[in-house]
Amino acid sequence: MTSKRYSDDELATRVKTDGWRLTRASDRPITGTLQHLLNLTHQRRRQGEHPGLIQEIETSIELDMIAVEKLWRFLGLPV
């Protein structure tokens, strides 16, 4: 089974959409908009913590760190 990936443009259009989950081994999952979860992962990374894994709930599509960093730049967050 091939894992679908969104293009950079597709992800940019989904930034304000609900239906995303952020998981990390030591925490309970957090759900919300992609933008909210990107802000949380960015904050964790700046504090030297593992940012966690962002996944679209409906499709189970996971964002790799390259996609996350591109979206941080899209949102104007320093990388």
pLDDT at 79 over 60: yes
- Is-contact 14 6, C-beta < 8 A? yes
- What's the pLDDT band for 68 if we cut at 50, 70, 90? very high
pLDDT in the model for residue 3: 61
CB 20, CB 37: distance < 8 Å: yes
Axis-axis angle for helices 65-74, 34-46 (nearest 10): 100
- What integer pLDDT is reported at residue 71 of this predicted model? 97
Average pLDDT (46-56) is 95
- Sequence ranges of the domains in the chain: 8-74
d(CA 57, CA 77): 24
Read off the pLDDT of residues 1-46 as tens digits, 9 standing for 90 and up: 446 889 999 999 999 999 999 998 878 999 999 999 999 999 999 9
